Amino acid sequence: MGMLVKGRWHDEWYDIKSSGGEFIRPDAQFRHWVTSDGLSGPTGDGGFLAESGRYHLFVSLACPWAHRTLIFRVLKQLESCIGYTVVDPIMLDKGWEFSEVSKNSPEEGLDYLFQLYTLVDAEYSGRVTVPVLWDKQQRTIVNNESSEIIRMLNSSFPSSRDTWDYYPALLRKIIDRVNQRVYHTINNGVYRAGFATEQSAYEKAFDELFGTMSWLEELLSQQRYLAGDQITEADWRLFTTLIRFDAVYYGHFKTNLKRIEDYHYLSNYLRDLYQQPGIAETVNFDHIKRHYFSSHTMINPTQIVPKGPELDFMRPHDREDY
């Protein structure tokens, strides 16, 4: 993993030492919005009108942040409206890479994702991340912040308004409150534990992670989903971490107090989400396991990918009872 510095690629890990051994995730830099009228959204500039065929996603099937956008593309029935390109699962000294089989891109001649960033800004400095929402008309990056992309997919495109609203006005305060805790302690919390280089930083992240897991277990003993009796954005943001937890984070990131399978309500809830129409097809455990165990050589220098565990998310669940 590396980064661009004034448009030049540097094979450089996160500067965790300067933050006392604690992993701090940098903010995404491209924050424009696709809107139904082409006017500016909450951040960034306008000029990005929601139109079928105009936008394209660059994603990794391994990445939980990118996974969110693929889920919303399916949920909102935008498959014919927005195409996507998948990067290779293993990310090494040149960052996210395109192999011959993954070069179905609207931009020709790309071997690495960082080249897409420098097409937009030849002097770009920062991390090169997925997902990327690309505007084929303006040949620019609209947004590379997953939480904002899924909100655009939820409501900006005409066809998306004919489907379920995953960020309804009446539940937004609850959703935002849940999102904030889940992001810090679970979505990013597994990385804070896994990338920590000091015992105290690791233990802080570990304790916060499993404190929130216990809170979620209690919450889900009383209601079917995180905001009540309907699925919302909050559930899908949590889902992409939970689905990777037992296969990767439990061992690779040393978050090994409990597996998701050890929680009655969380494990049933996870199967409920996995079994929603179209969701299982967005999950690729081959990419997930190969990415984490082969890319993070500072954690797993042998790059050996575990054969297990056996996971069955199609087993019956009991969530209809809540």
- The boundaries of the domain holding residue 212 are 169-277
Domain of 183: which CATH number? 1.20.1050.10
Asked if 156 and 33 sit in the same domain, the reply is yes
The verdict on whether omega for the bond into residue 131 sits within 30 degrees of 0, i.e. cis, is yes
Q: Is 55 a catalytic residue?
A: no
- The per-residue DSSP string of 290-302 comes to HHHHHH-TTT-TT
Residue with tokens 């570990």: 206
- Is the pLDDT reported for residue 162 higher than 90? no
The kind and range of the H/E element at 140 are strand 140-143
Mean pLDDT along residues 80-96: 96
Could you read off the pLDDT of 66-81 as tens digits, one per residue?
A: 999 999 999 999 999 9
The reply to whether 191 and 149 lie within a common domain is: no
Instruction: Judge if 139 and 176 occupy the same domain.
Output: no
Question: Of 13-27, 171-185, 190-204, 243-257, where does mean pLDDT reach its minimum?
Answer: 13-27
pLDDT at 158 over 80: yes
Evaluate whether 270 touches 276 at the Cβ level (below 8 Å).
no
**Quick one: 155 and 234 in the same domain?**
no
Catalytic residue among 84, 117, 166, 191: 191
Residue 304 falls inside a structural domain = no
Amino acid identity of 207?
A: D
Task: Fill in the amino acid letter for 1.
Answer: M
Q: What is the mean pLDDT of residues 310-316?
A: 97
Tens of pLDDT along 209-254?
A: 999 999 999 999 999 999 999 999 999 999 999 999 999 999 999 9
Average pLDDT, the chain: 96
Q: For residue 113, how many C-alpha atoms fall within 13 Å in the half-sphere facing its CB?
A: 31
Q: Active-site residue among 14, 55, 63, 249?
A: 63
CA distances from 20 to 56, 201, 246 (A): 38, 8, 28
pLDDT for residue 293: 98
Per-residue pLDDT band for 102 (boundaries 50, 70, 90) equals low
Q: Is 81 a catalytic residue?
A: no
Residue 136 has pLDDT above 90, yes or no: yes
**C-alpha distances out from residue 227 to 149, 155, 180, 234, 306, Å:** 21, 19, 13, 7, 35
Q: How many helices (H) and strands (E) does the chain have?
A: 10, 7
135 membership: H or E segment, kind and range: strand 132-135
